[in-house]
Structure 1
Amino acid sequence: MSNIPQLPLAQWIDSLVNWLAHFEGFFNAVTAFLGGIVAGFQFIFDHIPIPLFIILVIGLTWYLTRHTKKYGLLIFELAGLLLIWNLDFWRDMTQTLTLVLTSSLITFVIGVPLGIWMARNETVNAIVKPILDFMQTMPAFVYLIPAVAFFGIGMVPGVVASVIFAMPPTVRMTNLGIREVDPALIEASNSFGATSWQKLVKVQLPLAKNTIMAGINQSMMLALSMVVIASMIGAMGLGTKVYFAVGRNDAGGGFAAGLAIVILAIILDRITQAFNQQQSH
């Protein structure tokens, strides 16, 4: 094996990163844009009184689940949010929520159109699929290196790393949902003279909505799973509490912060599922 010359893969990647560094203005603009979204979410969360925030979450959940008349989730949300408040993790929780919502918003804006494009163009589908495989299987820690190189430290590189890690389910499920629409319905819309845009908006997207929402839900959960990893590059929130607890060998503090992440994850998961079910009625 020693006679086989080694490919300078690491050097090639370093050269690519150094070349991309010349586009500093572009990355600064992206940083400012994402930083503005993060600051906007955090400003809203910081200025909503905690009792009002809890009431709004419970009210939204009740509205979305009023047809099922299952009140266990409402009790869980009340107890969970009060516990987070009691443990003095409230601002950490809102910072984590800001990271997840920003990442999910960008994932939705980019992932859904890309999934639609894949469903309607086989060439794009063949190109993007291996890229999605790469994004899903690459260890999440690896995304931190270019994120820091191009966007510095803080919430913005955490958002970028989370978007890359969390986007594949949204793209894949959107692609799948569009492709699973009954061809007979497409033929019927063609017979009525529907344009390509009308077929997409009035036939394909409504019928694929449940599948697309499932992908968005999975992306949101993946973004939440990145909060501890993103804390290593300065993303604030509950992940920072867990990261510091690991460094101090503080089992109790780490478990408490981890429990707060679990509570937030369950609330976000159930709300998005309830929204999907409510829209289906």
Structure 2
Amino acid sequence: MGKIGEKFEELLQIMETLRGENGCSWDRKQTHESIIPYLIEETYEFVKEVKNQNYKNMVEELGDILLQVIFHAQIGKEKKEFTIEDIINTLINKLIRRHPHVFGNEKDFSYERWEKIKALEKGEKHFSKIGKVNKSLPALSLARRIQENAANIGFDWDNIEDVYEKVYEELEELKNSKNANEIEEEFGDLLFSIVNLSRFLKVDPEVSLRNATQKFVNRFKKMEELIEKDGGKMEDLSINELEQYWKESKK
């Protein structure tokens, strides 16, 4: 066994110890369900470091993601559901099966073939070129993925100016909505068109919105600090006064 194999075995042993009788009380009580939030959180932490091109932190965050895989594998082993070997073997077989242009006799990559293989794996009789709709994805990520799938078979805008026009069109339709149902539908269409724009701008809409939200939180906290420094209370200030503090916080 090479050094990587030895280190991997050591990692598995550490997790087994943590979940063991004399291990960590917190680790021992976790379940597949209870640690789901950590997998999602660590994934977004990694995405952030990729955007920052911070390779040292990318190493750490990838380690945290690997920890979640090992954690689930250990829980699965204890419950006799599956093992780490099952995970690795399934992945190996999937990679070979889905790349017949590399490991078989097919020529070049084909998106349609890729989706057809996935559909057959899932036992689906009817194959759609739009691909599998993964409803567990966040809405923005799901919209982007569906649009990418459609673009891969040529169903896409020719240039970004057309996409901007579509955004303006959807915004106008939202403004002209007559009732709650129309508003909800047109608002969804507007978001979908903005996600389309994000593809052309090479921006991940999920990450971008999270960053914008965090920026708002940071500025709001700074505004609170400025008001407190001046001896005031936020709830006592008018909207115009709050706007001035908001502008100051942005500096």
TM range (shorter): under 0.3
- The higher relative CO (CA closer than 8 Å, separation ≥ 6) is in 1
